[in-house]
Structure 1
Amino acid sequence: MSTPDEAERRAWAYLSRVTEPPCSALESLCDRLGAVDAAAAVVARSVPDGHEAVLDATAARFAIDRSARDLDDADRIGARLVTRDDAEWPGWPLLALSQADTAARGGEPIALWVRGPGRLDEFAAAGIALVGSRAASGYGEQVASTLASGLAVENWAVVSGGAYGIDGVAHRAALASDGPTMAVMACGIDRDYPAGHARLLAEIAGRGLVVSEYPPGTTAAKHRFLTRNRLVAALSNAVVVVEAGRRSGAANTAAWARKLGRSLGAVPGPVTSATSVGCHQMIADDLAVLVTDVRSVIALATPDGAPPSGRGRRRSTDGLTTEALRVHDAIPGRGAVAIEEIAFSAGLDIATVRSALAHMEIDGHVVNADGLWRLS
């Protein structure tokens, strides 16, 4: 006999496979009955009034229960099933999906299969998506690598789809900078897709997160990539398209960013490049903000200036007052200067500068030597 917790996990695992996600009708039934009773209702083909759409959505799969096998397969590779009952469920980021147009394959995932040591909610809270063409140019790869490395240094989680091209470059650069990265997949959590990225996906799973709403064993398919793109956007604070052709999966992810209210940025490229046509069109149509460096990407993700959930690497100067920061910035990176020079550069009176320097000297920000000041 299974325990209540085991029954709950089995129910969620069954529900994650019984329809092709997303399914707003099944989501609504789960909200009303809970996982165990919703699963029982689907199996019995008897649902409350107003939820009849669930019967059509589950007609092809309701009779097959692979929940125990799916949970075992996940456990075998160190993966787990994360549901809305779990503390790491990213409820707030996913909320926008419940309000999205269901005709455009919106809706929250029933559950998420997750592989890796990170917490899903923390990665989503600090996520910035970098997406782009699979047939990336050398220019696009260089930009993606620079942006991902910079974001990783600032402790932002680089989110992408694990594909060839821009996705793979972004993941690798984040890992190389010892930063967090998350790959959102369009297949089962146990599948390496593309096969050429098996080693990369294993490294992401070892140090970051690999995420999918598809149960183990599910193969990749064209419609699943389009469905997956909504999760890339939802689990990010902003989406940046590094390269995109006129019609591309990256453009689809960008469209989801707009639907979900996520900030959208695009990197300009050479006017002769076919892989930058999509980016140029987004910028020209005022759909995306032009971004060129890490600072502009972070500004896109934090329009109020504050990293969500305290993420972003803390600097030694973060605790300084506005005036003290102006004094600090007025001191050159090399050499020492007199207090009069600092006051002139900072645009502050001598008394204010002297007081700020005294406090910063105590805190170890600056050093006084023979009446001249330098950074410590």
Structure 2
Amino acid sequence: MNIVPIPRLVGADRLAADPQVRGLLTRLAGCPDDSQEYADALLARIAWSRIAEPGDGVAGELLAALGPERSLQLLIAGVTPVQLRDAASRAGVDLATCAAESALGRWLPRVDRAETMRDIERGMEADLCVIVPGDAAWPILLDDLGPHAPFLLWVRGDPVHFASPSLSVVGARAATGYGTHVTAEIVAGVCAAGFSIVSGAAYGIDAVAHRTALAAEAPTVAVLAGGADRAYPQSHDGLLGKISVTGAVCAEMVPGAAPTRWRFLQRNRIIAALSSATLVTEAGVRSGTLNTAGHAAELGRALGAVPGPVTSVASSGCHKLIREYGAALITNAREACELAGLGDELEIFRDGSQVSGETGGTARQPSAHGRVIDALPLRGSRTLIEVARLAGLSVGEARTTLAELELLQEVARRDDPGAAEQKWALVRRQ
């Protein structure tokens, strides 16, 4: 990508006054909105992603009350702690003078327009895009973090994957053979059920979860503690490249930012927030993975843990989550899908032979028959369109197969009073 030199901005009243800057910001956001207002707000959020550390609640409250532009303008204008307190108070935020003084001490040394322009250049050179709250691609689950939500996300890959139903899978970096095996087995089943996988691209369990999703040709999202263009660990550069092709790599830190211990801990809140459920497959009692579990619990997300041998130190953290924190005990993919909120579609994990009925001798069941039977719940019924979607067949193919199965007395029509469409159900054998 050819990068056009970006001029420094002048004047605190218009943060993105130069049309050239507006054009670059629009390209970075992949957004058709090239208005001055959108460019101003976007540039301000990019600046704040450098100014404040992840999870800075004071900054989050200020931006929510005053907006990113006005908040940044106050810093550029050299606001005093008292002035910042008064501005926040007028906007409905209760900010003590000492807290305002502490915040300005953190923020002001990082207010650097030249560095913000370089952040934009680095992002474009790395083929990153930016999404912010209010964008169509913004994962609204992150809003549950309140004032601790990220100001934006730098993304390598397609942000559309944030909208997919997902399960966050985390665990120890020093994974055992048991942890590796059980993680791969569960993730493979979860992906087969249509979920994407969210994790942190670390060694051990994270890497197994990502690689299993890639092998299953399912989307996977990696959340990094540093910049989205900076592989960490470095040996996972190839893995992250593959994830960015079929999924997404994201970070709230500016491009090139180094991961730190604090940023790793704060990164975990995003992993927990991006999914409806978090599963810990292996972790010791001192594992940083328990930090992610804590964020999930605070957010009210479903939390699950895989048990291990009682003699295994590597599973002691999982046992603690189950015993002391009410984590659901998860032993297979079906239970993991239940944790994530998947209901009657769980019949995909059934052995078709258990419900196929008496097809006569050892005759081999046509594949379409098995797929349609698997698409029907053990109890209840589904419409033709629902059956076709779950079976991976066209509506015409599903209709023909249902007719054949009806003749074989494997399925039956269910006429529900008031239903807009006719439904189909399995014939229950006595």
TM-score (norm 1): 0.79
Report the 3-state secondary structure (helix = DSSP H, G, I; strand = E; otherwise coil) of the residue aligned with 1:367: helix
Report the 3-state secondary structure (helix = DSSP H, G, I; strand = E; otherwise coil) of the residue aligned with 2:40: helix
Report the 3-state secondary structure (helix = DSSP H, G, I; strand = E; otherwise coil) of the residue aligned with 1:187: coil
Q: Give the aligned partner of residue 210 of structure 2.
A: 171
User: 2:244 is matched by which residue type in structure 1?
Assistant: A
Q: Give the aligned partner of residue 141 of structure 1.
A: 180
Which of 1, 8, 20 in structure 1 is aligned with 2:53?
20
Question: In structure 2, how many angstroms separate the alpha carbons of the residues matched to 1:298 and 1:141?
Answer: 19
Does structure 2 retain, via aligned residues, the 8 Å contact 1:331–1:373?
no
Does structure 1 retain, via aligned residues, the 8 Å contact 2:156–2:229?
no
Q: Give the aligned partner of residue 66 of structure 1.
A: 115
Question: In structure 1, how many angstroms separate the alpha carbons of the residues matched to 2:398 and 2:161?
Answer: 41
Question: In structure 2, how many angstroms separate the alpha carbons of the residues matched to 1:368 and 1:63?
Answer: 69
User: 2:401 is matched by which residue type in structure 1?
Assistant: G
Q: Do structure 1's residue 227 and structure 2's residue 260 form an aligned pair?
A: no
Report the 3-state secondary structure (helix = DSSP H, G, I; strand = E; otherwise coil) of the residue aligned with 1:219: coil
Which of 142, 164, 170 in structure 2 is aligned with 1:94?
142
Question: In structure 2, how many angstroms separate the alpha carbons of the residues matched to 1:258 and 1:368?
Answer: 45
Q: Which has the higher contact order (CA 8 A, sep 6+)?
A: 1
Q: Give the aligned partner of residue 117 of structure 1.
A: 158
TM-fit CA distance, 1:202 = 0.6
Which of 287, 294, 314 in structure 2 is aligned with 1:275?
314
Q: Give the aligned partner of residue 320 of structure 1.
A: none
Matches within 5 A, 1:123-272: 123=164, 126-272=165-311
User: 1:27 is matched by which residue type in structure 2?
Assistant: G
User: 1:216 is matched by which residue type in structure 2?
Assistant: P
User: 1:86 is matched by which residue type in structure 2?
Assistant: D
TM-fit CA distance, 1:8 = 3.0
TM-fit CA distance, 1:213 = 0.8
Aligned-pair RMSD on alpha carbons?
2.9
Question: In structure 2, how many angstroms separate the alpha carbons of the residues matched to 1:202 and 1:226?
Answer: 23
User: 2:59 is matched by which residue type in structure 1?
Assistant: L
Matches within 5 A, 1:38-57: 38-46=71-79, 47=84, 48-50=87-89, 53=100, 54-57=103-106
Question: In structure 2, how many angstroms separate the alpha carbons of the residues matched to 1:114 and 1:38?
Answer: 24
Report the 3-state secondary structure (helix = DSSP H, G, I; strand = E; otherwise coil) of the residue aligned with 1:113: strand
TM-fit CA distance, 1:120 = 5.2
TM-fit CA distance, 1:118 = 3.8
User: 1:90 is matched by which residue type in structure 2?
Assistant: P
Question: In structure 1, how many angstroms separate the alpha carbons of the residues matched to 2:73 and 2:398?
Answer: 68
User: 1:78 is matched by which residue type in structure 2?
Assistant: D
Does structure 2 retain, via aligned residues, the 8 Å contact 1:361–1:367?
no
Report the 3-state secondary structure (helix = DSSP H, G, I; strand = E; otherwise coil) of the residue aligned with 1:130: strand
Q: Give the aligned partner of residue 129 of structure 2.
A: 80
Does structure 1 retain, via aligned residues, the 8 Å contact 2:277–2:301?
yes
TM-fit CA distance, 1:6 = 3.2
User: 1:137 is matched by which residue type in structure 2?
Assistant: T
Matches within 5 A, 1:213-362: 213-302=252-341, 305=343, 330-332=355-357, 335=360
Report the 3-state secondary structure (helix = DSSP H, G, I; strand = E; otherwise coil) of the residue aligned with 2:154: strand
Q: Do structure 1's residue 11 and structure 2's residue 44 form an aligned pair?
A: yes
Aligned in 2, Cα 1:141/1:34: closer, same or farther, shift over 3 Å? Answer: same
TM-fit CA distance, 1:71 = 1.7
TM-fit CA distance, 1:240 = 0.5
TM-fit CA distance, 1:140 = 0.6
Report the 3-state secondary structure (helix = DSSP H, G, I; strand = E; otherwise coil) of the residue aligned with 1:60: helix
Question: In structure 1, how many angstroms separate the alpha carbons of the residues matched to 2:245 and 2:158?
Answer: 7
Q: Do structure 1's residue 29 and structure 2's residue 66 form an aligned pair?
A: no
Report the 3-state secondary structure (helix = DSSP H, G, I; strand = E; otherwise coil) of the residue aligned with 1:58: helix
User: 2:356 is matched by which residue type in structure 1?
Assistant: I
User: 1:116 is matched by which residue type in structure 2?
Assistant: G
Unaligned runs of 5+ in 2: 1-17, 23-35, 90-94, 363-377, 380-396, 412-430
Question: In structure 2, how many angstroms separate the alpha carbons of the residues matched to 1:333 and 1:250?
Answer: 48
Unaligned runs of 5+ in 1: 100-106, 307-311, 316-327, 338-345, 348-359
TM-fit CA distance, 1:163 = 0.3
User: 1:186 is matched by which residue type in structure 2?
Assistant: A
Does structure 2 retain, via aligned residues, the 8 Å contact 1:89–1:120?
no
Report the 3-state secondary structure (helix = DSSP H, G, I; strand = E; otherwise coil) of the residue aligned with 1:331: coil
User: 2:233 is matched by which residue type in structure 1?
Assistant: P
